[in-house]
Amino acid sequence: MSKRRRLIAGNWKMNKTTSEARDYAMAFLEKVGDVTDLDMVICAPFTALAVLKEELEESIVHIGAQNMYHEAKGAFTGEISAEMLKDLACTYVILGHSERREYLKEDDELIAKKVKAALEAGLTPILCVGENLTLREAGKALAFVRGQVEKDLVDLQPAELRKVVIAYEPIWAIGTGKTASAEDAQEMCSAIRSTLAGIAGAVAQEIRILYGGSVKPGNIAELVAQPDIDGALVGGASLEASEFAQIIQNAR
């Protein structure tokens, strides 16, 4: 048995108004309010965080954001700082999601700054990495993802690295209904852990690595049974409180 505590994270992406977020939080808590053997986090749009703070701050469900900026304050129109997220009871933040890398042109240099800033502020970053189909078919997936991990975690001390969560999300599996096989996901998560060992030594054994990409109630158990998969980052199947609660039950 690994010492690592499992983590199931929901990523709502650009979904839910404040009233939808409130209804969800109430329904979700009714189903998972007694789950204490793993960590749960809902990563919501910035606009829903104040409502989640009201509904979830006193509960065992953690609150997360889906992005932040690395500067502390100032003339950065439209951006949100780590302190602002903490003020809304956030303890997690997704960074470097493939949708932001692709549509918002975030690169590894920027993502590394965000990871460092999140850690300095005391937030737990969920750093997303993963290859596209072209890289996978060319046999370059492992090298590409190892490179992302190295670039995005540059200049961090082992004590900081211990607090990072990595989410391996193959882009071809996101929102497509095509999950990576448990074996392929394990192979990559094991490669990520050995990359982490190269950077942080024994601390790599403490770092949680999640799988993401079409996770559902029916495939979560097989995924978390793998030795290097410590949980999941769930997009589409986190949008219904009852389906996400079922994923959590099946991950225990």
Name the residue with the smallest CB distance to ligand PGA: 235
Binding residues for ligand PGA restricted to 126-185, rule: CB under 6 A: 169, 174-175
DSSP string, 94-154: EES-HHHHHHS---HHHHHHHHHHHHHHT-EEEEEE---HHHHHTT-HHHHHHHHHHHHTT
Angle at 89 between CA 7 and CA 239, to 5 degrees: 50
The dihedral through the CA atoms of 32, 33, 38, 41 has a sign that is positive
Q: If you search the block for the tokens 């996770």, which residue do you land on? A: 215
Q: Is 55 in the site for ligand PGA (CB under 6 A)?
A: no
| Total number of residues that touch ligand PGA (CB under 6 A) | 13
The question of whether 99 is a catalytic residue gets the answer no
Structure tokens at 189: 């998560």
- Contact residue for ligand PGA among 65, 204, 224, 233 (CB under 6 A): 233
Determine which one of 62, 97, 99, 160 is catalytic: 97
Q: Which stretch binds ligand PGA (CB under 6 A): 56-64, 117-125, 234-242, 243-251?
A: 234-242
Q: Is 212 in the site for ligand PGA (CB under 6 A)?
A: yes
Q: Is 11 in the site for ligand PGA (CB under 6 A)?
A: yes
171 or 200: CB nearest ligand PGA? 171
State the alpha helices, DSSP H only, in the chain.
18-32, 49-56, 82-87, 98-103, 108-121, 133-137, 141-152, 158-161, 182-200, 220-224, 241-250
Q: How many CB atoms lie within 10 A of CB 132?
A: 14
The question of whether 71 is a catalytic residue gets the answer no
Q: Is 218 in the site for ligand PGA (CB under 6 A)?
A: no
- Work out how close the CB of 172 gets to ligand PGA at its nearest, in angstroms, rounded to a whole number: 10
- Work out how close the CB of 114 gets to ligand PGA at its nearest, in angstroms, rounded to a whole number: 17
200 or 245: CB nearest ligand PGA? 245
Q: How many CB atoms lie within 10 A of CB 192?
A: 23
Q: Which residues are catalytic?
A: 97, 169
| Site residues for ligand PGA per CB under 6 A | 11, 169, 174-175, 212-215, 233-237
